[in-house]
Amino acid sequence: MNDPLTKALAADQLTAEDRQALRELLDTEPGLRQALARWAALQGLIRQRLHTAIPDQRLLVLYALSTSAHAPVLSAEEQAAAAAARAEIEEALQQHPGLEAVVEDMQRAAGTFEAEWQAAAARAPGEDPATRKPASRAADRPAQPAVRQRRTSWQYVGWATAAVLVAASLLLLWPREPALSVAESIPGETTTVAFPDGSTALLVDAARITYRPGAPFDRTVDAQGAVYFTVTPRETPFRVATAAAEVRVLGTAFGVEASEEATEVVLATGQVALTAAGQEVTLTAGERSRAAVGAPPSAPERVDISERLAWTGLLFFRETPMAVVAERLEARFGRAVQVAPSLTDERVSGTFAKDASLEEIVEALAATLGATAATEDQALQIKP
């Protein structure tokens, strides 16, 4: 355990002393810290995708046993559970071909387990391997009932369930499915990604997204860091998966800040569903919710999206009085913006790009109000 990267990848198995040594190392090795953070986020994404495909992973084990020569080890109740989940699991296998290999591996391992069990039973003390009956005992020692060496389903299931996540971690991402596309933004900068369906993602300050660009685009994106999505309406939901939660939308604009510990969603327009730990909340425009890893999302709360989404560099107005709009424009551009008294109480909504000029914004707002834009002594004016 002396290799630093090995320590980082197996951090959950370290002693307290090794954990402290790792923390000290990460303080001096930012590259290693970033690699460890990405590994932790990837683990979270795999858990989320596996949980979405098959919420009860024990059913995958029961399915593997029920469709093999080891079906007799299952109880009637377990056979019924496997039969009830069969259609759902087979649909998941079609969506994630890598899971088929997980099932095959469990079936092969069950065969190995069976052979080892038989060998261990044959070596069991107090039994005759040839006759499978209790051996003779001394006359002065009371006889004890023989323990039946029967394999039971829980002995398979308990072992196999623990192995599902490890196997799926490799096979869900194995290139038996279309290749993944990865986009990243450089720290301190932004990057815009256009998806095949017309939706876009604005990546801010070292954010990262992963998706499958093939046709048809499945409208599913894995995200880390701060990302602002503008989603084109379609019948198929657009899904954003993070280490802590999943966001599902049909057409809207929202910001996601996702770390390995938690995910925060702030909705600019439309409506989204945020799911975490098996629970779901629905957000409407101007609301925020947060979900920590393993915890349900918080109740939606109203927020000032201009403040909460300031990290995007975009300019947001949502039913904002023109008097307030003028103040924000003056603060941003350092130039006077004058609004006619008859228009100061009018409310407007809009989102403007980071590189939009003051003139472009004022003209767009004037057009929304059915007014005119003019310039006088370097001040921009909006008049009826």
Q: pLDDT value at position 297?
A: 96
Range 314-383 classified under CATH 3.55.50.30: yes
What is the DSSP secondary-structure string of 285-336? TTEEEEEETTSPPPPPEE--HHHHTGGG--EEEEEEEHHHHHHHHHHHHSS-
**Of 10-14, 36-40, 139-143, 273-277, which range is least confident?**
139-143
Tell me the per-residue pLDDT of 181-229, one tens digit each, with 9 for 90 and over: 888 888 888 999 999 999 999 999 889 999 988 767 889 999 999 999 9
Query: Two tokens at 71?
Result: 């079906």
CA-closest candidate to residue 329, choices 286, 260, 262, 379: 379
Phi/psi at 89 (nearest 5 deg)? -70, -40
CATH architecture entry for 181-305: Sandwich (2.60)
**Of 77-91, 257-271, 284-298, which range is least confident?**
77-91
Distance, in Å, from the CA atom of 84 to the CA atom of 129, rounded to the nearest integer, reads 39
Comma-separated ranges of CATH 3.55.50.30 domains in the chain: 314-383
Tell me the per-residue pLDDT of 25-36, one tens digit each, with 9 for 90 and over: 766 766 666 666
Measured on CA atoms in the order 16, 18, 20, 26, is the torsion positive or negative?
negative
Q: pLDDT value at position 120?
A: 65
Q: Is the pLDDT of residue 124 over 60?
A: no
Query: Residue 244 in contact with residue 43, Cβ under 8 Å?
Result: no
**pLDDT cut 90: percent of the chain above it:** 39
Query: Two tokens at 260?
Result: 């390995």
Q: Which residue has the higher pLDDT, 10 or 300?
A: 300
Average of per-residue pLDDT across 130-142: 46
Comma-separated ranges of CATH 2.60.120.1440 domains in the chain: 181-305
What's the pTM? 0.54
What is the DSSP secondary-structure string of 38-55? HHHHHHHHHHHHHHHH-S
Tell me the per-residue pLDDT of 216-264, one tens digit each, with 9 for 90 and over: 788 999 999 999 999 999 989 999 999 889 999 988 999 999 998 999 9
